[in-house]
Structure 1
């Protein structure tokens, strides 16, 4: 891969682990490496802009890593949104783009309200169904703030991210109740049985509806595939997943005073934090991840199974052998 692309993807994965989002961090690196080796992900894509109207465009990512495609999409939205006030990019022919907050953060830093969506592989049964029709279909919403960090909601529309199922399987742990069903539709906490069955949407029929609309937002206006049309690289690393993403950015400076908007968002954050009983702090959306990141500024905490996989991967690729560490952490220098 080009150095700049490799650095971008590496940074996004390390930041996810620093924020405690282990399902989207270095857990994914062996999968990315295998998909790059097998052809499911293109290391040197020739991305192509289509249907560019000046503030809305479609980007054919040529099977790039999702982070590479999304950075181009976010850069477009920032540039064109500064001129027109609002901009959007639909991405097609892409792959997993990491944690959604990585993208909304960039837009928030420039004073944009943002919506980011994506399709994924087929792992979720619609409410009342049994077949894997939907993906985990992440939704990220971001708002700029004059506080320490933006107001951010970054969530899968399934009860848990699929990467958390993989992490539970690797760690030999059970899933929380209510996350999945087995192949016969019975509730299960066994990640292996859940992989054969399906994950379920959060919030019953309401979450299922949101997940379905994210499929439409992310894939209906481009050539991207829906989840049920997709072969996931988790199952077949040579698969060109053709994920679809959508990023929309509204430049607050175009419709209001940016500083006023940011101050208003900060007021909302502080009101949420101060709403607990007996002075107990309540987290505003995005707070737990940012607090984790500050605490982990000089190291990358990793589950032991992920650390072991990185040791194996390094050895397979011919790097100097890395001895397994005895603690729960790997230093950022070593990573």
Structure 2
């Protein structure tokens, strides 16, 4: 369901049952361990998924637990044990190979290295090849803001976006994400795909029996598609594509989203000498599954080496407060700045837990019974 806001924060209209964070976290960690993910790594993966739901990004949270991670481990196309190989390590850079292990685990280790480097030298950048889905990009960039630094990250993905004037899905949804520390109670976070929507949102629509809004997806004939189940099938078969940010063609500046997607594709690939575009389909020529071999990049900037952390925080906060206090459009409740809605949702859900719809309830029960885990959920 769409999360709604008023001048005081989140409107309490949630009808789905909540599962407490501790229960959901313990359960998911135990399932990850049951399929072979080592203990500490399982906790990392669980935290990344739950953080998505804490921020209201449900397309990348618990809804992806089984289909994107558990099912891929079961299918043998995602390695539960992450054997991260450091290919190059300098005072300010890291290049790594995840060898098709857990993208979230590989990203955590590389980000920890970069944060240490940036704290000493002011800047640090890293890239990973042969990885897998790493969750929300904003998780990694806020690792930087937690330390008073700026975080930037992007990742390529299985082909979904068509280039401007094209209908062939060539690039992934390729998020380009920024997090900036502020003097407020939450950071600035811009975490969004370079497509007009992302595959995860369509998966969320499909799981909840909803159509995809017209204009987000085009078929081979150049017409809009709205049937979410049909879109997911067509995307996999190369018969549909997501529109880039801005939309189809040049009239609404779709070339800008196309260009940013290309930037992310290049940085996610060329820095670590990884695979790209049609090589990331997750399919062999005979149609059988294979690892996705994704690439990620990360940049950490330490404001202390520029104007200073305190100056940067206040200046950023001043800009955001000026934006929020500017004139509202008629009928608008309030103006939000990037990261504010995620903060409000986190506050709303803090003592409630993660909302769980019917399809996710079914998956939780199936996984619990499969591994004979001692959990009983509030929705039972």
TM-score, structure 2 normalization:
0.81
Aligned residue for 1:286? 339
Q: Distance in 2 between matches of 1:324 and 1:176?
A: 32
Aligned residue for 1:268? 319
Q: Distance in 2 between matches of 1:73 and 1:241?
A: 19
* 8 Å contact kept, 1:39–1:237: no
* 8 Å contact kept, 2:218–2:241: yes
Out of 295, 304, 311, which is 2:358 matched to? 304
Gap runs ≥5 in structure 1: 327-335
Evaluate the alpha carbon distance shift between residue 304 and residue 58 of structure 1 in structure 2; reply closer, same or farther with a 3 A threshold.
Answer: same
Aligned residue for 2:26? none
Q: Distance in 2 between matches of 1:102 and 1:35?
A: 22
1:205-264 deviation digits (Å, cap 9, x = unpaired): 11011101110011112232213211238xx89521111000001111112211111111
Evaluate the alpha carbon distance shift between residue 191 and residue 183 of structure 1 in structure 2; reply closer, same or farther with a 3 A threshold.
Answer: farther
* 8 Å contact kept, 2:82–2:105: no
Evaluate the alpha carbon distance shift between residue 224 and residue 218 of structure 1 in structure 2; reply closer, same or farther with a 3 A threshold.
Answer: same
* 8 Å contact kept, 2:282–2:289: no
2:363 aligned with 1:316, yes or no? no
2:90 aligned with 1:53, yes or no? yes
Q: Distance in 1 between matches of 2:110 and 2:326?
A: 37
Q: Distance in 2 between matches of 1:139 and 1:78?
A: 19
2:253 aligned with 1:253, yes or no? no
Q: Distance in 1 between matches of 2:310 and 2:209?
A: 48
Alignment of 1:33-72 (within 5 A): 33-72=70-109
Aligned-partner SS, 2:89? coil
Aligned residue for 2:122? 85
Kindly state the Cα deviation for residue 320 of structure 1 after the two structures are TM-superposed.
4.5
Alignment of 1:186-205 (within 5 A): 186-195=223-232, 196=234, 197-203=240-246, 204-205=254-255
Aligned-partner SS, 2:343? helix
* 8 Å contact kept, 1:65–1:94: yes
2:270 aligned with 1:220, yes or no? yes
* 8 Å contact kept, 1:74–1:247: yes
* 8 Å contact kept, 1:182–1:193: no
Aligned residue for 1:26? 62
Aligned residue for 2:291? 240
Aligned-partner SS, 1:187? coil
Kindly state the Cα deviation for residue 178 of structure 1 after the two structures are TM-superposed.
1.3
Q: CA RMSD in A?
A: 1.9
Alignment of 1:138-157 (within 5 A): 138-157=175-194
Kindly state the Cα deviation for residue 139 of structure 1 after the two structures are TM-superposed.
1.1
1:89-125 deviation digits (Å, cap 9, x = unpaired): 1011110111111111110121212210000111221
Which stretches of structure 1, 4 residues or more, deviate above 4 A after TM superposition?
Answer: 320-324
2:206 aligned with 1:206, yes or no? no
* 8 Å contact kept, 2:156–2:173: yes
Gap runs ≥5 in structure 2: 1-36, 235-239, 247-253
Kindly state the Cα deviation for residue 315 of structure 1 after the two structures are TM-superposed.
2.3
Out of 27, 42, 47, which is 1:11 matched to? 47
TM-score, structure 1 normalization:
0.91
Kindly state the Cα deviation for residue 151 of structure 1 after the two structures are TM-superposed.
0.8
2:165 aligned with 1:128, yes or no? yes
